[in-house]
């Protein structure tokens, strides 16, 4: 960190964090930013961006984030005098994704609740601002039939579980290991009127998935290394004729993932790419 930005600040400061690719690093960094006093965190590609007001001890922010992820890259810069307590909201937009719209609450007025997913940006990953979330939501309508059972692994904000419920799933298991994300997920489920369909569990996906199996569709927006570890249990937990939608995969990792899927007997049904990210729907050959 530059010496000029050490200690308490006199201006609003932009803080950009690029987490390590390790499992859970992104969620840990987001939680650390909120712990350090961030009022909102914007997902910008592979980075997390927020703003801190004058008087913030940036050394403390730096310490909290690096304690959560020692490999995180942290960039700070002074910004013009702006009321960022409100201005950060302008960077979060509504996203039309096939038949569904993902939106923050302040843009939801007048939208049809039946096809709108309202997500309050919070500590849990998944606001609709990240390409990996959007990729799954775009692929889901072509796979999901009304009345089916869905499991959402690494559910975060529960945005994908809510999407499945809005598209007609009879039951959705939203499984999330991070206890800090659970309150956000539960609030989002209630806010979107799908509490009767979506059941939120604080648990390890690999351990709980076999207990709720068989399911028709499995959603997993997780980094590729974890996805590879989960492929055997994903395959064993699907009902005959079921499918999975995977995301959190970098485009540069696509050839490796295709090889892994082929080795494990999966067929690619449909692909989606946005920015540097790749999402894919698959079924057993």
Q: What is the pLDDT along the chain (285 residues), one digit of tens a residue?
A: 444 445 555 678 899 999 998 878 888 898 899 999 988 888 888 899 998 988 889 999 999 999 999 999 999 988 765 554 555 566 678 899 999 999 989 899 999 999 999 998 765 566 777 899 999 999 999 999 999 999 999 999 999 999 999 999 999 999 999 898 899 999 999 999 999 999 999 999 999 999 999 999 999 999 899 999 999 999 999 999 999 999 999 999 999 999 999 999 999 999 999 989 999 999 997
Shared domain for 196 and 82, answered yes or no, is: no
Domains in the chain, number = 2
The SS3 assignment for 80 reads coil
The residues facing 280 across adjacent strands are 246, 271
Strands 42-44 and 215-221: unpaired
pLDDT given for residue 205 in this prediction: 93
The SS3 assignment for 52 reads strand
Shared domain for 176 and 247, answered yes or no, is: yes
The answer to whether position 118 is within a domain reads no
The answer to whether position 110 is within a domain reads no
- Pairwise CA distance, residues 122 & 65, whole Å: 17
Shared domain for 68 and 133, answered yes or no, is: no
pLDDT given for residue 122 in this prediction: 66
Handedness of CA 9, 45, 94, 164 (dihedral sign): negative
CATH code of 52's domain = 3.30.70.260
The answer to whether position 261 is within a domain reads yes
Q: Which domain holds residue 261?
A: 124-284
Shared domain for 251 and 147, answered yes or no, is: yes
pLDDT given for residue 129 in this prediction: 79
pTM: 0.74
Burial class (CB in 10 A: 0-12, 13-18, 19+), 4: exposed
């Amino acid at each position: 960190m530059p010496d000029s930005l050490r200690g308490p600040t006199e201006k609003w400061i932009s803080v950009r964090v690029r987490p390590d690719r390790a499992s859970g690093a992104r969620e840990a960094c987001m939680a650390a930013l909120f712990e350090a006093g961030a009022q909102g965190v914007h997902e910008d590609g592979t980075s997390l961006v927020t703003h801190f007001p004058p008087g913030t001890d940036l050394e403390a922010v730096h310490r909290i984030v690096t304690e959560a992820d020692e490999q995180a890259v942290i960039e700070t810069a002074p910004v013009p005098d702006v009321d960022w307590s409100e201005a950060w909201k302008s960077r979060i937009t509504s996203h039309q994704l096939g038949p569904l719209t993902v939106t923050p609450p302040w843009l939801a007025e007048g939208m049809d609740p039946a096809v709108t997913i309202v997500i309050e940006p919070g500590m849990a990953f998944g606001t609709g601002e990240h390409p990996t979330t959007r990729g799954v939501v775009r692929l889901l309508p072509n796979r999901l039939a009304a009345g089916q059972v869905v499991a959402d692994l690494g559910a975060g904000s529960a945005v994908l579980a809510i999407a499945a419920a809005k598209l007609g799933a009879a039951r959705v298991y939203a499984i999330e290991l991070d206890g800090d994300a659970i309150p956000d997920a539960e609030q989002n489920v209630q806010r979107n009127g799908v509490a009767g369909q979506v059941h939120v569990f604080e648990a390890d996906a690999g351990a709980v998935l076999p207990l709720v199996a068989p399911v028709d569709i499995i959603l997993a927006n997780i980094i590729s290394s974890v996805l590879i570890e989960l492929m055997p249990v994903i395959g064993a937990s699907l009902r005959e004729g079921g499918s999975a939608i995977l995301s959190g995969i970098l485009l540069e990792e696509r050839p490796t993932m295709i090889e892994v899927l082929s080795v494990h007997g999966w067929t690619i049904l449909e692909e989606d790419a946005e920015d540097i990210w790749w999402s894919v729907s698959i079924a057993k050959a």
